[in-house]
Copies of this chain bind each other. A is one copy, B any other.
């Protein structure tokens, strides 16, 4: 078989993965949903999640139509516009299927726990999560490979990537605002004012809170990684064709296909694992998939290029991705010193809790950045600028299993919520709690992975951008580049300030609504009247879509304005500035938030005075600050840096035509 015919294998692998996802969906759905009460709650969550999706789609469709024409006219190529729509559509489909099965897996996981079948509960939750992972990677390589096979034109591929980015913006930023508005709002009135426990069905915001887990942590995370996955592939294809030949496009797609097959194999390791510790089962899956890509990537490099050097780039990215996940665990898990130190600092009050959490978050940037630098060094050494894109592909090759493990977390969390709201036994709750605790760690690792891969992807796209606008260099001694660098570095601060303020504003509306319901319907707190869940869901939905507009416009317009006014070099500076500051802020905020969360849980588990102590109250303040940090602002920065770069790449022909006006 000739090398180019191998390309046809890629969509076939994608279809195998999607069929396997379909099979796993079937595995989940055939399980029993449990009691009537459980069904009722699960359907409320599912309805809320779908309500959000449909509202999102209504806004999205306008956005897509406008951009369709902007791209077609601005770039002068409507094929790019069509690719843009394809990217948006496939990302939407991946998110829809993934979230749909997640909202079915949650109640079935709870029901398995009700039968004290904890291995089965793990299997259902993980299978549900895996559907999202397989859809992300499957639709990703399906779209990229088919467009490439049809058009044979690498320039239009950036449109596909922009489509993926647009959905990621809505899902990650909007979803992040949604989930934290509901969470903070539910906590502040429910736990603090009314004194009812978390996930209590009397809390009108409780359904919105559980919907938020699906919207933000499943769909948001999935769209974020779909964007990175597609971006890394497209950048590798673009640079591969530019620096080498068609082999340079084939190799990254085959590596991604190996990764996807490896993920399918790895799901069996997890699901058939007899290990009693769910954390170990999940880790085995990730390591198994990584090992397969490690070997496969090197062999394939020798087979295609007659040299292992490009394989080394893939391996560099792969290893660094796994290590960043581990480091994230050290900074955010209560098993290690940093989180314990935050818990200890809570003894002298909320002020010192916050200071030490900020300090831990800032310090946690050091090792991931060092690792990313090592990956850059090694991949450039072996494969030049193309190597950097390959490192990103390598890191993201295990996306299917990583997203699967990550989406497991919110499913387990939801299962716990359903168990609590349905009044199931404490023993059942113990099982869901143990599954959920693992979910917290995997979520933090997943965030670290998402940031690291976003950084490498944005860097690879940045190189593609420079290629597209014919920049031989981007010189920091050029005053326009300095200006670009400064403004770019400022944007993540503006973006984070906006998203944090949005959460505050939306949470405040939620608080007012919950207070109103408690006041006007006294029967709610007595457990006699059913609260009005739908209004709370609507508040989160509207807030998410409304508050997303300004950050979204900033991300799309900033590069266009800079490119038109100060030209391509200044825009290059701006992308670099946003990239470096965005990565630091994303790591800082995600890890600080994760560390505060687990410091609070550590105290709740009976340390330092336990639940209700002054120390615990201080830790709760840290956790409240950490909520928008780790679930809204931090992850949204991944989108900002990728979206700005991809917008610059797509509109490169426009900047070349206009030049810098100033």
**Which chain B residues lie closer than 8 Å to A370 at the CB level?**
487
Copies of the polypeptide in the assembly: 2
Closest chain-B Cβ to A225's Cβ sits at a distance in Å of 22
On whether the beta carbons of B363 and A621 are closer than 8 Å, the reply is: no
Does A96 sit within 8 A of B, measured CB to CB?
no
Cβ contact of A385, chosen from B477, B576, B625, cutoff 8 A: B477
Q: What are 21 contact pairs spanning A and B, CB under 8 A?
A: A188-B349, A351-B624, A354-B624, A355-B503, A358-B625, A359-B496, A359-B497, A362-B500, A363-B494, A365-B490, A370-B487, A373-B486, A459-B482, A466-B477, A474-B476, A475-B476, A482-B576, A485-B580, A489-B580, A493-B584, A493-B588
Does A628 sit within 8 A of B, measured CB to CB?
yes
Closest chain-B Cβ to A270's Cβ sits at a distance in Å of 34
Cβ contact of A479, chosen from B380, B471, B500, B577, cutoff 8 A: B380
The complex places the Cα of A377 from the Cα of B621 at a distance, in Å, of: 43
The complex places the Cα of A348 from the Cα of B621 at a distance, in Å, of: 11
The complex places the Cα of A583 from the Cα of B388 at a distance, in Å, of: 29
**Which chain B residues lie closer than 8 Å to A363 at the CB level?**
493-494, 497-498, 501
Cβ contact of A581, chosen from B356, B372, B489, cutoff 8 A: B489
Which residues of A490-510 are within 8 A (CB) of B? 490, 493-494, 496-498, 500-501, 503-504, 508
**Which chain B residues lie closer than 8 Å to A625 at the CB level?**
351, 354-355, 358
**Which chain B residues lie closer than 8 Å to A576 at the CB level?**
476, 482, 485
Does A163 sit within 8 A of B, measured CB to CB?
no
A interface residue numbers (CB < 8 A to B): 188, 192, 345, 348-352, 354-356, 358-363, 365-366, 369-370, 372-373, 376-377, 380, 385, 388, 459, 463, 466, 471, 473-479, 481-483, 485-490, 493-494, 496-498, 500-501, 503-504, 508, 511, 572-573, 576-577, 580-581, 583-584, 588, 620-621, 623-625, 628, 662
Which residue of chain B lies nearest to A373 when distances are taken between CB atoms in the complex? B483
Q: A352-B504, A355-B500, A355-B625 are in contact. Are A463 and B486 (CB under 8 A)?
A: no
On whether the beta carbons of A377 and B479 are closer than 8 Å, the reply is: yes
**Which chain B residues lie closer than 8 Å to A373 at the CB level?**
483, 486-487
On whether the beta carbons of A376 and B479 are closer than 8 Å, the reply is: yes
Q: A476-B576, A494-B362 are in contact. Are A355 and B624 (CB under 8 A)?
A: yes
